[in-house]
Structure 1
Amino acid sequence: MTRYGNVQVQITVKDGNITAADVLQVPMSDRHDEMINSMAVPVYNQEAVSAQSAQIDVVSGATYTWQGYTQSLQSAIDQAHL
């Protein structure tokens, strides 16, 4: 949960590695959310796969999304026992 809504991340794991990260839920309640998240989410998804962890950089202007994304990502990583 973020200040602006829920963020939910799903990961795909193969042979103990994150092969994909996808957002199932992200705030998109107005044009501002749409603009920020349509830019930030693909970057976060790519960074999650590259980093193989929740230790990813924040995209400028998308701090709240980043906070929710990294928390959900870490939860998914923990559930996958990585």
Structure 2
Amino acid sequence: MLTGSAVQTDYGPVQVRITVSGGKITQAEALQQPSGGRSTQISGTAIPQLNQNAVAAGSADIDAVSGATYTSGGYKESLQSALDQAGG
């Protein structure tokens, strides 16, 4: 498992942990995500989509989730830092 850096967004930190097997992302999860008020609802919808996108893409080159621009940006940045540790 590789843990990306915590990225501070306007709505709170985002931190991603990935599992890499055979050079591919097999699992992605957010350890930290924006919460409180509307952020909890947005993260609850966006994070599962971002996790799926990361596994499907196998890279940090994933689309932002509509309505969750800051969360998506933080997710991608943290994901890239985790991938950097894997040498990818």
User: What TM-score do you get using the length of structure 2 for normalisation?
Assistant: 0.89
Q: Partners of 1:9 and 1:38 in 2: how far apart? A: 15
Match of 1:19 in 2: 26
Q: CA RMSD in A?
A: 0.7
5 Å matches for 1:1-80? 1-30=8-37, 32-80=38-86
Q: Partners of 1:16 and 1:67 in 2: how far apart? A: 23
Question: Comparing both structures, which one devotes a greater share of its residues to helix?
Answer: 1
CA-to-partner distance for each residue in 1:5-47, whole Å, 9 max, x for gaps?
11000000111111000000001122x1111110000000000
> Which ranges of structure 2 fall in alignment gaps of 5 or more residues?
1-7
* Deviant stretches of 4+, over 4 Å: none
Query: How many positions carry a matched residue from both structures?
Result: 81
User: What TM-score do you get using the length of structure 1 for normalisation?
Assistant: 0.95
> Which ranges of structure 1 fall in alignment gaps of 5 or more residues?
none
Q: Partners of 1:69 and 1:59 in 2: how far apart? A: 10
